[in-house]
Amino acid sequence: MELEVAGRTVRLSSPDKVFFPERGFTKLDLARYYIAVGPGILRALRDRPTTLERHPDGIEGEWFFQKRAPKGMPDWIPTAHITFPSGRSADEMCPTEQAAVVWAAQYGTLTFHPWPVRAGDVDHPDELRIDLDPQPGTDFADAVRAAHELRAVLDEFGGLRGWPKTSGGRGLHVFVPIEPRWTFTQVRRAAIAVGREMERRMPGHVTIKWWKEERGERIFLDYNQTARDRTIASAYSVRPRPQATVSAPLRWDELDTAHPRDFDLATMPARFEELGDVHADMEDRSYSLDALLELARRDEQDHGLGDLPYPPEYPKMPGEPKRVQPSRARREPSP
């Protein structure tokens, strides 16, 4: 069948293919969802290199991340050239129209993972993204509690404002639009500074320990989500969960009463029709990281708190501590 999407015609094959067996949602339901929230998800993806999380046979089938632009992609969908930590590079899909999202849904894309950069400058992020990840023994309510303190930290260090959204799972994301003046390394350093300040204020509740064995029952602030080629599901993305939950943008005054299961492929279109994109004003703001980078400098100078481990697929980075989990390091003999 053919769908009209903001002036484009997008062909949809196998519209009755079931993607979410528990709810009965089909590929057509997915496409119609992305049409309904089109202006919102385009705001989140516009001009951003975007990795596609594809589930061509639904959530119970095999799936994969597609980083390189798919073969046969229409010429009206532009690409952006990005470089991975390994030094290799690729051209990634870079949506500029709502129809691009529906075109990707035709190929089983459930979740869109945009880089925090724009096509015009792929080496300088324009968003600081904070991922609050509940660890075993904690839940969404614990992430909400951490998010309220995070809001205060952001305001104190530079008058920053964050926009919160559900992850579509148990966690919370807070995005801060920033001036594209800093490298990925510097933005990651700012995220680490935020995490350390959060640890000082909520030591029994928040951690930035990279190794799972050290985290305990706390909210993990995943600073490595700001590293190059690490991405976070976009606002309005559908997540591959039985209930077809979505990553839902929220206002701060909604956090204490919201729950991730409130927002799914069936309920979000009505919310969007009523409220529109509650994060639309992100586009009008752009903040400085100077205060957070100064906090990072003081942490290192006054407390000896330098860099933290990178993800395992990264090459060894300058100033990075030994990338060995603590329990294993204790077993290794001294040189």
293-302 confidence digits (pLDDT tens): 999 999 999 9
Residue 332 DSSP SS3: coil
Handedness of CA 256, 259, 265, 266 (dihedral sign): negative
R_g of the chain computed on alpha carbons? 20
> Which secondary-structure segment (H or E) carries 5?
strand 2-5
Whether 178 has a pLDDT exceeding 60, the answer reads yes
38-84 confidence digits (pLDDT tens): 999 999 999 999 999 999 999 999 999 999 999 899 999 999 999 99
Please, what is the average pLDDT of the chain? Answer: 96
DSSP 8-state code for residue 97: S
Neighbours of 162 (CB within 10 A): 23
**Structure pTM?**
0.96
Residues 195, 223 contacting (CB under 8 angstroms): yes
Domain boundaries, the chain: 2-122+236-275, 127-228+285-303
How buried is 243 (Cβ within 10 angstroms: 0-12 exposed, 13-18 middle, 19+ buried)?
middle
For the domain made up of 127-228+285-303, the CATH class stated in words is alpha beta
267-280 confidence digits (pLDDT tens): 999 999 999 999 99
Q: What is the pLDDT of residue 121?
A: 98
Handedness of CA 264, 243, 222, 311 (dihedral sign): negative
Q: Are strands 219-221 and 172-177 parallel, antiparallel or unpaired?
A: unpaired
Q: Are strands 219-221 and 18-20 parallel, antiparallel or unpaired?
A: unpaired
Estimate the share of the chain in helix, then strand, then coil, as percent rounded to the nearest 5: 35, 20, 45
- Cα separation, 189 vs 197, whole angstroms: 12
- Cα separation, 163 vs 276, whole angstroms: 15
Average the pLDDT over each of 170-184, 240-254, 308-322 and give the range with the smallest value.
308-322
Tokens linked to 53: 């999380």
Whether 335 has a pLDDT exceeding 90, the answer reads no
Q: What is the dihedral angle through the alpha carbons of 242, 172, 183, 68, rounded to the nearest 10 degrees? A: 10
Residue 184 DSSP SS3: helix
Residues 45, 95 contacting (CB under 8 angstroms): yes
